[in-house]
Structure formats: structure tokens, C-alpha cells
Chain A
Amino acid sequence: MKISILGGRVIDPAQVLDQIIDVHIQEGKILALGDCPTGFKAEQTINAEGLIVCPGFIDLCSHLREPGPSYKGNIASETQAALAGGFTQVCARPDTQPPLDSPAVIRVVRERAELAGKAKVLPIGALTQGLEGQLLSNMSSLQAAGCVALTNLRRPVQDNLILRRCLEYAATFDILVVFYPEDSALKGSGFAHEGSLSSQLGLEGIPETAETLALAQTLLLVEQTGIRAHFAHLSTARAVTQVAEAKARGLAVTADVALSHLLFTEACLESFDSNFHLEPPLRSEADRLGLLQGLKDGTISAVSSSHLPHEAAAKMAPFSVSEPGMSSLEVVLPQMLALVENGWLNLGDLVKRLALAPAKLLGIESGALWPGYAADLILVDPEANWVLDEQTSFSAGQNTPFWKQSLKGRVVTSLVDGEIRFNLN
């Protein structure tokens, strides 16, 4: 299909581009920007006047719930939600049931994703077998099956010797390893940021050092083994400083932050609202400002949805026994636009943090509108006001504080491989 997207404001940080210009698509790829190439005749034209046209977002951490309990969602529902949120590609977390630790499971996930025909799925494999932290996973086979990275999530690796072996083996194949730095012993049975507020509310705390101590240790092993490392979901201001220092001494490491941690702090826990039960925990206002600063100066290169859909009952429980996580793929764009409005970043940075940077750190040719790249792009109405509810949401999870709230900024159309896979009207 030959498509021309006409009159939109094209924002593509890779080409340092922000101008009203046409986009031409042929055989699923970007053909050209600007004037219509000679001989090209669009079979379909899309009027993008008043809309932003940019590369489709790439999410670094979504739980797609498949294989696993289908009442929490499945690949079809969550990749549809992704498209509606502007994400044309999503990384799938490996803590499915069974976990993504064998090529067979990876194949099932990829087949289901293709069958669903929504956002593309980029599986992240398990670093250790069963995510149990004891035996190396079949890393090379996982890579061959299509995993873009490996991680053990927040599950502890038994000891530093095993972790070192994991990293050395991963380095053999130049696989990206994603870390969610957290010392499980210091975390203990905690579920809230340790501080005066958690003390007053009687919620068991997770100290800042649970993150910073694990991060410091891991950085040393990363340096020793020379792997490509990405640190996900930083929650403390001090962790941002640690990553900045590591980068300054030449380590090729990257970091992301979950959207929720740019918006909320521990103060949200005062009403014991289980929607704010997250991993890592929401921390102090100083931490939130530190994360925003890190995003602004580039220490944190990407923003992740940390999408974790749940059935309603999972949150209908006292705070500590409710299941952690927030359903968030569909609110990333309006909330990031709110950060733009508040001066924390500009539109070019927004696209960079959600599309270009994730593509770069994953090492995939994507996140930009270069001719020849897959035509994964979205059309956004930054002024559209809408309400997230049963009518507008596609995710199986309603576990978000934005449920039935009004939001500003909405995806109008999402194209994957030059095919319109989501259209608002």
C-alpha cells in the first residue's frame, strides 16, 4: 500500500526535524519526507493537518500477560492498548507463566503477536532459567528466537558469582542486559518508600539503599564484564547521580524511568489507595525532581510505561496485600504532554525519550523516520480532550488512578509497517 500523510507537523529527533511536511510510505517502509517522489502515486492519503506525526513509541517494559492468567489481559488486548497509546512496539517482560526462558515460549509469544496484528512485540528473555537466579538461561538460543534483551527483573540472582557468570556469558553474544536494581534483603517485606510517611502510616519501608546499593554493585560488575547494560525504572535521585557518574567514567550504560515515578510521590499513599502500590515504590518529592532532572539532562534517556494490567480484584485489598503495578500504556502520551506543558521537556525530547532512545539502547533500526525504516508512526492530536473509561480503554487492566479522569492529548492513528492498525474514528 502506498500512503501519503499530508500536512502534519513531523517531529523526528533523529533527523532534527520539526516542520510541516508530507510523509510518503511504500511497501511498509518510509519512502520519503517532503515532496512527492517522482512516479509515486498514493493509494491512500491521510490528512494530518493540526496533528503531530512522529515515530511510533517503543515501550521498554510491558506485561502482556500471555502466556499466563488471561483475566489479567492477553497479547491481543494489551498490544491493542499499546497502539491506542501510540506504542507501535512493546518489549514484553519475561515473568509470564511459564517465563520467557525458552525459544519455544518466545515463538508462541511472537506468533500470538503476529496473529493479533497490533503493536509489534519485542520479547525480553529471562537471564536465568525460570528467573530463579541459579542457572544460566539458554541466552544464545533466546537471542536467535528474537529476544532483544535479557533480564532477571527484580528477582534476585543467588549470589554475585552467578551474576558475574551470567554477564560474562551474555557478553559473549553481545546481548543487552536489563537490570531493575534492588537488593532483595534490604527490600525485605517492604512495599513503600522508607521515610517519615511510611513510618506514620505503618507501611513497611523499602530504603533508598535497596536501590542504590544494588546499583553500585551491579555497575562494578558491568564494568568488569564489559556488557551492554540498561538500568530500568530508577526511583531515587541518588541512583540518577550514580548512573551519571558511571557514564562520566566511560561506561556505556543507559537508564529509564517509569512514567508513574515522574508524576507521583509517596504522598499518594496517604489514602492507602492501592493503585499507587508500585514496584519500585513511589518515593519522595526530592527523588521525583531528581528523576525529572535526569530526564531533562539525558542521564535518563528513556521513559517506560511499566504497564502492568490487573483484574479489579487484585487491587481490592488492603494496600500491602494488593498486587503491585499500574495499567499505563494508554496514559503515557497525555501525561508526557503535560510534562511538556510544565516545561520539563519539549516535544522533540518527548519523541526522543519514547521512540528514538529506546530503539537506540535496544540496538534496533527504529524510532526514526529515515527513508528505508519500517513505517511505524503515529498521528497525535495534542489538543484532544478525552476520558479514559470502558469506551476508550483497550487494556484489560483498569488499575490506574486516571480511570474515568479527563486527559489531554490523544493518538488518532497508528501505523505499523505502513499499515493503519489503529484509527480513532
Chain B
Amino acid sequence: MSSALNNPAHPRNVQLTSDGRLKHFLSINGLSKALLTEILDTAESFANMGEQAVKKVPLLRGKTIVNLFFENSTRTRATFELAAKRLSADVLNLDIKTSSTAKGETLMDTLQNIEAMYADMFVVRHADSGAAHFIASQITPRVAIINAGDGRHAHPTQAMLDMFTIRKHKGGFEGLKVAIVGDILHSRVARSQIRALNTLGAAEVRLVAPKTLLPIGIEEMGAKIYTRMEEGIKDVDVVIMLRLQKERMTGALLPSEAEFYRLYGLTTEKLSYAHPEAIVMHPGPINRGVEIESAVADGPRSVILQQVGYGIATRMAVMSMAMSGQMHERAQIQ
């Protein structure tokens, strides 16, 4: 940063080893197209494992992975647990209820205690943006950290499984037009998707939402803003719908669910504006009749359930790569 005098802050990519390998997986930001492609290719090699009689590979045998969920999540935690077990790792699940005002000491002490049990990897979900970065850079740098969602900031494994889904169904990213619809403001998934799509070379990323749900200046990430659904999804190849939380109605962001559904809900009729072969995605869990019509969610264009299956393979890829990078760096230091 040239603007500040004697600025001692050196933003560096904490998730890479000195030779550019993944050692934590914190966000898509700063990762190259080659690295993202490597994640997708690695995921591809794991993709058919679920159908085999023995659903395990010994890549992480003897390694201890701790799922640290400071925020509730059933589905994401389950896919991380399955992914770890299919890599033959030992898994410990910790649900740590914490209020957003809890002292940093608690988080720091908790993590250092678990590190003292010789954990090799933490899968962290936390309500505060930057929590995974904080842990990786300040608390336990020698434990591989996988970000399973931090505040509104990033949810990179979800974004990568979405990229995997898109590549599977659309063959690649060249010339691809993608619309992300709904509550962009609170969505860490959307932020990670925008980065991943741009890095992988998608032709156009569109964000469709009312202005109260669009973060200020988000277009600078590489996205076009649309406030009308019909224009926003016109001719797109992929429609990604986001979950709308009920709290948004009480926070003076939206007047009612009904009005949101009328304007932005994905119905069969609205989907007709998209490319005839467009696929419909959703990070789940879906709100039927709030952001998406049942006929669309269960229809032939929906790949929502496939996404869940791909999630395991993608997480296996990220976990094995980060562990390998972390081991590599530890070996070099010793």
C-alpha cells in the first residue's frame, strides 16, 4: 500500500506456502486460476467414490481433523465430516455456542487447547467476517484451517462446489453468463462465487436484487448490477438463487416476503427469460415460495441436489490439498 506512510501492515496471502501451494483454505481471493482448476480436477478424481463399495482413500490416515462450528449448521458440517472420513482421517466435531460479543480470549483459549491435542486441521465456521484469517494468522498457523463460512465474508468450499457443479453441467466457464439472485448483502456464498467465477474466466457475473440487499460498491468485485429480474436473468446459462432469511423483513430491508417473491422469486415464468438450457442452483436450504417456486426447485433444470453430492468431493479435494501443503511446509521448517 503506497498511500500510507511507514505502513507496517503487509497484506500477504496467508493461505499459500512460500512456493504457492495451498496450506489453508480461507477465501478465493488471491488464488490463481490454475489453483482453482487443480481443486476442481482433484474433486473430479474423488467424485465417483460415493458409488464404490469401499468409500475410502487413505490420504489423511492418522491425521486429526476438528470441525469447529461456532455457528449452527447441519448440512455443511455433515459433508465436511463425510469428506474427512472418506479421506480416512479421525474426526472430532465440536459445536461451540458463542454469542457475537464473546471475548476473544475464549476463542483463543479454545483453539489453543484443541491445538494442544495435536489436531492437524480445523474446519471453522464462525459468525464474524475474518475469523478464519484471524485463526490462521494469529492463533494456530501450523494447523491447516479450512474456512467453512465466516460472517458475510467468504464460504470458499461452497463456491468451489458450485464451480464444480457448473463445470460438470456446462463443460467450462468460457462465455458463461451467471446470475446470482437475492440477498447478496448477507451472503458470504455470493462473495466467494463472484471471485471464483471471475478467476475461472466466466464471461459475465450478474447480481440481481433490490438495492437494500446489494452491498455498496460490490460491482467492483467484477459484477453487473441488475434490479429487475427479467433483465438480470435474460439469456444467462446459470441462475443461482440465494436463501432469504426471515429476519430481513424486520430489519427494514424488505417490506414483505410476498413482494420479494413477486419481484425476485424464481418461477417457471421468470426462468423462461434465461437461456433455454440454463441450470438452476441454490446453496440451500431452500425456502419454497419465498425465493424459489417448488416446480422450479424440483424441475428438470434444477441441479440443487447434485450440488450437495459434489460438496463432499470438493471438500475432500480442498482438505487433502491443504493438508499436503501444510505438511510440506512443516517438513521444510524442521
Q: Which residues of A contact B (CB under 8 A)?
A: 194-205, 207, 263-265, 267-268, 270-276, 285, 288, 313-322, 335, 338-339, 342, 401-402, 405, 407
Contact = CB atoms under 8 A, between A and B. Distances in A.
B288 to A, nearest CB: 27
Contacts of A207: 216
B220 interface: yes
Contacts of A271: 9-12, 14, 133, 137
B107 A199 contact: no
A268 B129 contact: no
A317 B129 contact: no
B177 interface: no
B250 to A, nearest CB: 14
A363 to B, nearest CB: 32
B41 interface: no
Interface of B: 1, 3-12, 14, 29, 100-105, 107-108, 126, 128-131, 133-134, 137-139, 150-154, 188, 191, 215-221
Contacts of B12: 271
B3 A318 contact: no
A313 B108 contact: yes
Contacts of A270: 11
A345 to B, nearest CB: 13
Contacts of B103: 313, 317, 321
Given A202-B154, A264-B4, A342-B5, A272 B133 contact: yes
A72 to B, nearest CB: 14
A203 B137 CA distance: 18
B100 A202 contact: no
Given A195-B217, A202-B188, A202-B191, A319 B129 contact: yes
Contacts of A405: 6, 8
Given A199-B216, A202-B153, A318-B104, A264 B134 contact: no
Q: A199, A270, A338 — which one has the most chain B CB atoms within 10 A of its CB?
A: A199
Contact of A263 (B6, B128, B221): B6
Contacts of B7: 263-264, 268, 401
Nearest to B128: A318
Contacts of B101: 321
A275 B130 CA distance: 14
Contact of A314 (B14, B104, B133, B138): B104
Given A316-B104, A318-B128, A267 B3 contact: yes
19 contacts: A195-B216, A196-B216, A196-B220, A199-B215, A199-B217, A199-B221, A200-B220, A201-B129, A202-B188, A263-B5, A265-B3, A272-B137, A288-B3, A316-B138, A316-B139, A317-B134, A319-B130, A339-B5, A405-B6
A314 B107 CA distance: 12
A221 to B, nearest CB: 27
A148 to B, nearest CB: 31
A268 B107 contact: no
A202 B152 contact: yes
Contacts of B1: 265, 267-268
Given A314-B104, A316-B108, A201 B130 contact: yes
Given A198-B215, A315-B104, 13 more contacts: A198-B216, A200-B29, A200-B220, A202-B191, A203-B151, A264-B7, A268-B9, A270-B11, A271-B133, A314-B104, A318-B150, A319-B129, A338-B5
A402 B8 contact: yes
A314 B108 CA distance: 11
A402 B139 CA distance: 20
A268 B129 CA distance: 15
A318 B129 contact: yes
B171 to A, nearest CB: 29
Nearest to B130: A272
A142 to B, nearest CB: 32
Given A202-B153, A203-B130, A194 B216 contact: yes
A276 B9 CA distance: 9
A46 to B, nearest CB: 30
A196 B218 contact: yes
Nearest to A311: B105
B270 to A, nearest CB: 26
A327 to B, nearest CB: 14
Nearest to B99: A321
Q: B3, B139, B219 — which one has the most chain A CB atoms within 10 A of its CB?
A: B3
A194 B215 CA distance: 9
Given A271-B9, A313-B103, A338-B6, A320 B129 contact: yes
Nearest to A323: B104
Contacts of B153: 201-203
A263 B4 contact: yes
A128 B6 CA distance: 40
Contacts of A205: 215-216
A263 B102 CA distance: 31
A138 B9 CA distance: 44
A335 B3 contact: no
Contacts of A319: 128-130, 134
Contact of B104 (A263, A276, A322): A322
Contacts of B220: 196, 200
B78 to A, nearest CB: 24
B134 A272 contact: yes
A318 B4 contact: no
A405 B3 CA distance: 18
B141 to A, nearest CB: 14
A273 B9 contact: yes
Nearest to A314: B104
A321 B137 contact: no
9 nearest interchain CB pairs? A317-B104, A196-B217, A202-B152, A202-B153, A272-B130, A199-B215, A318-B128, A202-B129, A196-B220
A401 B11 CA distance: 13
B24 to A, nearest CB: 13
Contacts of B9: 264, 268, 271, 273, 275-276, 401
Given A196-B220, A405-B6, A313 B191 contact: no
A206 to B, nearest CB: 11
B4 A265 contact: yes
Contacts of A342: 5
Contacts of A276: 9
Nearest to A285: B3
Nearest to A267: B1
A264 B108 CA distance: 27
Nearest to A194: B216
